[in-house]
Chains A and B, each alone.
Chain A
Amino acid sequence: MALTTAPGRTTRTGSPRPHATRRGAGRDRHGEGLAGYVFLSPWLIGLMGVTAIPMLLSLYLSFTNYDILTPLSEVEWVGLANYERMFTQDPSYWHAVQVTLTFALVAVPLKLAAALGVALLLNKAWRGVGLFRSLFYLPSLLGGSVALAIVWVNMFNRDGAFNSFLAIFGIEGLPWVNDPDWALETLMLLAIWQFGAPMVIFLAGLKQVPSELYEAASVDGANRFRQFWHVTLPMLSPVIFFNLVLETINGFQGFTAAFVLSNGTGGPVDSTLMYTLKLYISGFTDLEMGYASAMAWVFLIAIGLITTVFFSTGRFWVHYSDGER
């Protein structure tokens, strides 16, 4: 900030005494830099106090046996013991990893597909399209709300609304949320249903595709499918990339629904034990905050790696029309 403003100022004044001006500019640069920090300070204090310092503290704690109740001054350094235990002695840790991967691998692609499909439908100019856009967006406004998760649990109970609906066709439903084989699928459905946010981004992306490309394609005799495949998808790929990265990170961090559905236990039989839920239980129910911190750092690194993989493979399929990568 200071670096960009100072030269600009020098040019504007166009001073005939370069030496004096440099001194003056130096002082001003200092002053304006300080002003910048002052104006940044609410955010900086927030970043340092609420994010950076606690994060670094948790990195330290991940090498200790911190249990919340013992004062920080008395925690013992245990080296890599927490990490060792996580990788070699805790089967439920690997179970949680498996549950989370399954969830993300199934829910994220389906959610993006639903978002893109509906965005394509809503990209047409027909009467009432605005209303439908709002309606489809609505579920994601309710976001990770607890109320929504409670509704979901009641809908997918043995005697819930969904089974009453099935009963009309003479099908006897399962106790979806209370069945270890189906509880996670019910959570996935909830996540997929909330496709509003990526849908709106897809819609905006679709509006940006120049119509002359479609005209040219149809002159060349491309049908609707080929137009979608050869025009829409490449033109939309930066938006798809953006949504994919964001939704993957979101998918890995799913917590609220799993917490509510299982009363904070990850049940039935650990079928909804998402990574974040396992972390929460370790930290707050079992009071093993050092262990939970180690889990959090492994999680952070894993998400970082996955995002890196996305970015490094992006160049092969993400198409930027202005020629830049």
Chain B
Amino acid sequence: MHPATSPTAGTPAEPSHRTLAPRRRFLRGLVAAVVAAPLLFGAAACGDDSDAGDGKVKLSIFWWGGENRAKLTEDALALYTKKNPNVTFEKTWQANQGYFDKLATLTAGGNPPDLFQIDDNYLSEYAERSTVLDLNSYSDSGKLDVSKFPKSLLEYGVVDGKLAGVASGENTQGLVYNKTLLTRNGLPEPTTGMSWEEHIAWAEQVTKKTKVPGTQDPSADYKAFWVWLRQQGKDLYKGKDLGFDEADVTRWFELWKGARERGATPTPDVIHEGNASDVTKQLVVTGKAATSWVWVNQMPDLKKNTKDELGVVAYPGDPSGQWARAAMYWSVFKGSKNRDVAVDVINFLANDPEAVALLGTDRGLPSNLDLRAKVSETATDPAMKQSIQVETELAQKFGQAAQVPIKGHSKVKSELVKAAENVQYGRITPAEAAAQYVAACKSAIV
């Protein structure tokens, strides 16, 4: 009970209290109870805390994904508990939409998960605000073994010199095409290394022959724009600034304006539908275009949404514009009481042969190269095999890792969609859209 109430309750015959009417005393007790109740609940919540001193740890972990990912992850975590009986998990997962809202809200409420999944869209936002733990000391001491990671993949988790996230897997941009549709119409498949012009000409042919638009228009897609920029010797970001200028954006929009005029792409409203990031809305699976611009590790999920056979190649242009991107990361909350355990779990998920075998390529190709080779040998899912094969081939041609997107990236992405769609619907010219876009980006990243 609340300590303040016990003296009163314990000495009812005390003279000074005799003047109080019984009802009043009752009310006073009631007030005390009302005031004390939240304290009690609060205390109860504290008692439930993870580190109770007996070595038992309950680690909270949060990720986005579908049911399949949940099952794989739960299996891998169960394996960890089996090997470390003192550690149990409080698992929370949900769809990607709304995930970062929730993560931000949890952080604001002072109650973020110990261990959480994050991607390059938000890594800098969290790292620059010191929300995530710098894992460098753990990798130096060997508690976090990153020796088998490709160097560029590891570096893609570094923000301002701090190791903010550990890649849970590697992926890269992939151009997915409807193989069934092409074969049925006797059309050639796209290949890695095709120039952008060749890709558009090919797409035009596809439209003419199949009546299905040859390619989704990626002018609103930041990852396509990014690869294209890198092939022009530019980049999305350069330090704390933009890595491109108005002229680059104009050229990019004009490239696709030309493609639309040639009939290589769908109508603006269909392009708009395909601009949704949701896998099920990609035009290649809804049958509204022959190709879509995705991440290679999305292949198995895409395949589940269509009966047609799919193929995947690199984005057009020189494939050295692409890089080993961390599909997503594991990060540890800086204020976590269980940070050592959390890091150990990351280490386990990345380097334990059994765990990696369980997880497969769901979060990208395994970061540990030795284990990646093993997973590739034993993969049975054809879509998974395909993505492994393509990514392994591309890995030979990858360029230097890009810089992790900076603070303000979410706006740089959404403003590109707005500017590109404005051009697609024919409301403004590419040059006007480029000017607006660059201005909007500049005010977003300051």
| A residues whose Cβ falls under 8 Å from a Cβ of B | 31, 34-35, 38, 41, 67-71, 89, 158, 175, 178-180, 263-265, 267-270, 281, 284-287, 289
* CB-CB contacts below 8 Å: B54-109 with A: 97, 100-101, 104-105, 107-108
Docked CA distance A162–B108 (Å): 44
| A178 near B31: Cβ-Cβ < 8 Å | no
Which chain A residues border B129 with CB–CB below 8 Å?
Answer: 67, 69-70
Docked CA distance A264–B414 (Å): 11
Which chain A residues border B273 with CB–CB below 8 Å?
Answer: 178
Q: Can you list 25 A-B contacts with CB-CB less than 8 angstroms, sorted by A residue number?
A: A31-B23, A34-B27, A67-B129, A68-B104, A68-B105, A69-B107, A69-B108, A69-B125, A158-B270, A175-B267, A175-B269, A175-B270, A180-B425, A264-B97, A265-B414, A267-B417, A268-B268, A268-B269, A268-B421, A269-B421, A269-B425, A270-B418, A285-B414, A286-B410, A287-B410
| A268 near B425: Cβ-Cβ < 8 Å | yes
Tell me if B411 counts as interface (CB < 8 A to partner A): yes
Question: What is the minimal beta-carbon distance from B406 to any residue of chain A, in angstroms?
Answer: 13
Tell me if B184 counts as interface (CB < 8 A to partner A): no
Question: What is the minimal beta-carbon distance from B122 to any residue of chain A, in angstroms?
Answer: 9
Docked CA distance A267–B427 (Å): 14
Which chain A residues border B39 with CB–CB below 8 Å?
Answer: none
| A69 near B31: Cβ-Cβ < 8 Å | no
Tell me if B4 counts as interface (CB < 8 A to partner A): no
Given contacts A38-B30, A180-B427, A268-B421, A284 and B101 within 8 Å (CB-CB): yes
Tell me if B162 counts as interface (CB < 8 A to partner A): no
Docked CA distance A285–B411 (Å): 8
| B residues whose Cβ falls under 8 Å from a Cβ of A | 21, 23-24, 27, 30-31, 34, 97, 100-101, 104-105, 107-108, 110, 125-126, 129, 131, 267-270, 272-273, 275-276, 278, 408, 410-411, 414, 417-418, 421-422, 425, 427, 443-444
Extra inter-chain contacts (10) besides given A69-B108, A175-B267, A267-B418, CB under 8 Å: A31-B23, A31-B27, A34-B27, A38-B31, A38-B34, A41-B34, A89-B443, A180-B421, A268-B425, A287-B104
| A31 near B34: Cβ-Cβ < 8 Å | no
Q: Is the interface of B mostly helix, strand, loop or mixed?
A: helix
Docked CA distance A70–B131 (Å): 8
Which B residue sits closest to A49, measured CB to CB? Answer: B38
| A269 near B108: Cβ-Cβ < 8 Å | no
Residue from B126, B418, B444 within 8 A of A69 (CB atoms): B126
Which chain A residues border B268 with CB–CB below 8 Å?
Answer: 178, 268
Given contacts A41-B34, A269-B421, A179 and B108 within 8 Å (CB-CB): no
Docked CA distance A56–B134 (Å): 35
| A287 near B418: Cβ-Cβ < 8 Å | no
Docked CA distance A264–B104 (Å): 17
Which B residue sits closest to A268, measured CB to CB? Answer: B272
Which chain B residues border A284 with CB–CB below 8 Å?
Answer: 100-101, 104-105
Which chain A residues border B278 with CB–CB below 8 Å?
Answer: 263
| A269 near B107: Cβ-Cβ < 8 Å | no
Docked CA distance A79–B220 (Å): 36
Docked CA distance A263–B275 (Å): 10
Residue from A67, A264, A267, A281 within 8 A of B421 (CB atoms): A267
Question: What is the minimal beta-carbon distance from B333 to any residue of chain A, in angstroms?
Answer: 11
| A68 near B108: Cβ-Cβ < 8 Å | yes
Question: What is the minimal beta-carbon distance from B336 to any residue of chain A, in angstroms?
Answer: 15
| B104 near A69: Cβ-Cβ < 8 Å | yes
Docked CA distance A63–B129 (Å): 19
Which chain A residues border B34 with CB–CB below 8 Å?
Answer: 38, 41
| A34 near B272: Cβ-Cβ < 8 Å | no
Which chain A residues border B408 with CB–CB below 8 Å?
Answer: 286
Question: What is the minimal beta-carbon distance from A286 to any residue of chain B, in angstroms?
Answer: 5
Docked CA distance A180–B21 (Å): 71
Docked CA distance A286–B441 (Å): 12
Which chain B residues border A158 with CB–CB below 8 Å?
Answer: 269-270
Question: What is the minimal beta-carbon distance from B271 to any residue of chain A, in angstroms?
Answer: 9
| B418 near A35: Cβ-Cβ < 8 Å | no
Which chain B residues border A71 with CB–CB below 8 Å?
Answer: 110
Question: What is the minimal beta-carbon distance from A34 to any residue of chain B, in angstroms?
Answer: 6
Docked CA distance A285–B107 (Å): 14
| B272 near A267: Cβ-Cβ < 8 Å | yes
Which chain B residues border A69 with CB–CB below 8 Å?
Answer: 104, 107-108, 125-126, 129, 131
Docked CA distance A71–B417 (Å): 32
Residue from B101, B270, B417 within 8 A of A265 (CB atoms): B417
Shortest beta-carbon contacts, A-B, top 8: A178-B269, A175-B269, A69-B129, A284-B101, A68-B104, A68-B108, A269-B421, A268-B272
| B410 near A285: Cβ-Cβ < 8 Å | yes
